[in-house]
Amino acid sequence: MTAAVDALAIEARIKAQGYGLGFDLVGVARLGEAETAAAFDSWLESSYAGEMDYLSRGADKRRDSRLPFPGAVSAIVVGLNYGGREPGGPVARYARGDDYHEVMTARLDQLHAWLEGEAGHPIRGKAYVDTGPLLERDLARRAGLGWFGKNTNLVNPELGSFFFIGELLVDLDLVADEPFESDRCGTCTRCLDACPTDAFAAPRVLDATKCISYLTIEAKGPIPEEFAEKVGDLLYGCDICQSVCPWNIRFSRELPDDSPFRVRPMLAGKDAGALARELMVMSQDEFSAGFKRSPMKRAKLQGLKRNAALVLSNTRGPV
């Protein structure tokens, strides 16, 4: 794979294999200094991360994506649709099925194994899915997968923004795709205007401490009174800024029948009130069984009960 033609050929085969594994987007980026590192450092210094102290760890690796392991050269960056056509509801679309970390990491590991088979020798590699000190949107934009929307999500012109991002870092010198250079948000501010808690300090700058997703998932204490009513009937996460985006209204996709992100039985067909009442009386054993392999485990049962009590109060149901 030293000749240019061989490099291009393996890159094409990597993309074909990625699509064959079920990914909806596949691109290649060159590793190096992250273009958005300074902006991220400034964001942390502004205390917009709230209680998410883990985001400040691994600063050197965050600033230079070649550092996770010696010899890392390229990133195979993938996107996986989690469904933007399903109706909104009390649980954000991404969290209604299986845990995306597990689903995507398993597929990236399969891609790694396939790549070693194609090369005929071991290849150093490491998969990341929202689990390490990498600026993943930075790599995804470099790989041509989309631009940074004003709501901070990566937006793809053929898929919208309802997709997960993952990367396989490898020590292969692959030909990189052209970065996505254009900003296709234009003058639109629908996402900023729709946020119930005014969580955007500026276009593309999210104050997480005001974001409903942060408040219902990451924050450990009581939800501040100033935001309590604005949470409305949202039990876990929030899709509002994505749901109003014209790119999602036009281009987001339905989930295939075999998608691991289809709604699980524990959540299916239940409105906010019904689900909140179930959570209020749920035991730890019931929670562990019903939410096995669910990303909703992150909030723990205690956090979900807190959210449920607030939703019942907001919807004037019995607590």
Known catalytic residues? 130
pLDDT tens, residue by residue, 37-80: 999 999 999 999 999 999 999 999 999 999 999 999 999 999 99
pLDDT at res. 316:
80
- Give which of 179, 177, 138 is closest to 14, Cα–Cα: 177
Structure tokens at 53: 């102290």
Structure tokens at 235: 């039990």
> What is the rounded (10 degree) CA torsion for 2, 23, 295, 125?
-10
Q: What residue ranges of the chain have pLDDT lower than 50?
A: 1-5, 7
What are the residue ranges spanned by the domains of the chain? 4-170, 201-241+262-314
- Show contacts of 59-64: CB within 8 Å, 24+ apart: 59/133, 61/132, 61/133, 61/134, 62/34, 62/37, 62/133, 62/134, 62/135, 63/33, 63/34, 63/37, 64/31, 64/32, 64/33, 64/34
How many Cβ atoms sit within 10 Å of the Cβ of residue 205? 15
pLDDT at res. 6:
54
| 25 strand-pairing partners | 79
| 170 strand-pairing partners | 74, 125
Phi first, then psi, for residue 247 (nearest 5°) are -70, -35
Residue 40: enclosing H or E segment and its boundaries?
A: helix 37-45
| Contact of 145 with 154, CB cutoff 8 Å | yes
**Interacting residues of 171 by C-beta distance below 8 A, sequence separation 6+:** 69, 71, 72, 73, 123, 124, 125
pTM: 0.94
